[in-house]
A and B are shown apart, each in its own frame.
Chain A
Amino acid sequence: MKFPIKKRTAVQEVDLTPMIDMTFQLIAFFMILINFSDSERSEEIKLPTSALAKPPKDLLDYKIILNVDEDGSVLMDGLKIANIDLLNPLFSREINQAQREGKSPQQITVILRGHEDSKTGDLQRLMAKCQENELENFLLRVKERK
């Protein structure tokens, strides 16, 4: 009787080099595009669009980002504030921090990110509150329209 001869299967090794190359390239791509500085953006805010607004020139040393919700609430540093009078201590903290480094409140830029359906009056009241705290430079942030 003849027994079938068992063939010894060779250890198949896949060449992983192209896959690793590609994976590293993908990682590099996503690492370059990731932007942690956007963490202060609030996703709830749908900005109005504009084709004429200018891209931010350079990184601002001193800035306060205020997100204004559709119902007029202000989001600052992760806090939702319905009464804008409560912003005074937060402004004071930012101003004191700038002053410790020899900067005046006028050198602080307030970035206003207003929801497109929020009341303009709410933003104006917020700007007036900033003015009370000697903050006078504002950037109205919009989304670029191509």
Chain B
Amino acid sequence: MKFRKDLSRPEDTRLNMTAMIDIVFQLLAFFIITFRITAQETDFTIKMPLQAQGSPTEVIPDLIQVTLRSNESRNIAAIEVDNMLTQDRFEGPDMYNQLTNFVERTLAGNGDPTTANDVEVEFIIDSPLRYRYTIMAIESVSGRILPDGSTKKLIEKIKFRNQ
């Protein structure tokens, strides 16, 4: 006697995974190879309209001029500052901190803290100076990192005097 095949039992169907695993590993390899760990990039904003050049001492009441002096090895030699009332010259390893202090004193001297936003810094830079020292100076006038890790903002308006 011939028994009928039991149709209720499903057949053991197995998918062939080989192709999928192949392509998945290729994708994985692609992403691993193209992956790069880089530090985040940040920006300093500089607005320099064309009409501002050539007339650096025109009516800007709150202007701090910062001159960066370079030495023969293109490193920073000195920072000269002028806020139209006082001039100073900073040298040595602490010069950037002194620059921040000077900016703070100038802003405090203005009295009204709301006018601090109007104060502008104009940089006059020796051409050969390494760019990193310029960025350090911009950082010094932009703000200060307080001991608790917070940031105290100082100057936002920064421009360069064209050579």
Query: Which A residues form the contact surface with B (CB < 8 A)?
Result: 16, 20, 23-24, 26-27, 30-31, 33-34, 38, 47-56, 68, 111, 114-125, 127-128, 131-132, 134, 136-144
Contact = CB atoms under 8 A, between A and B. Distances in A.
Contact of B46 (A49, A120, A132, A140): A140
Interface in B63-118: 68, 74
B67 to A, nearest CB: 12
Given A16-B17, A30-B28, A52-B143, A142 B163 contact: no
Nearest to A134: B50
B3 interface: no
Contact of A52 (B25, B41, B126, B151): B151
Interface residues of B, number: 48
A144 B127 contact: no
Nearest to A119: B128
A23 B28 contact: yes
Given A119-B130, A142-B135, A52 B24 contact: no
| Among B127, B132, B145, residue most surrounded by chain A Cβ atoms (within 10 Å) | B132
**Chain A interface, >50% SS class:** mixed
B142 A117 contact: no
Contact of A16 (B21, B42, B130): B21
A-B pairs, 8 with minimum CB distance = A121-B127, A30-B31, A53-B42, A116-B132, A48-B132, A139-B43, A48-B135, A138-B46
B42 A124 contact: no
A54 B43 contact: yes
Contacts of B130: 116-120
B43 A127 contact: no
**Chain B interface, >50% SS class:** mixed
Given A50-B139, A121-B128, A127-B160, A142 B44 contact: yes
Interface of B: 17, 20-21, 24-25, 27-28, 31-32, 34-35, 38-50, 53, 68, 74, 125-136, 138-139, 142-143, 145, 151, 160, 162-163
A56 B127 contact: no
A27 B21 CA distance: 12
B41 A141 contact: yes
Given A124-B162, A139-B46, A52 B131 contact: no
A119 B74 contact: yes
A130 B128 CA distance: 20
A139 B127 contact: no
A138 B163 contact: no
B41 A26 contact: no
B41 A47 contact: yes
Contacts of A16: 17, 21
A49 B160 CA distance: 20
Contacts of B34: 34
Contacts of B143: 52
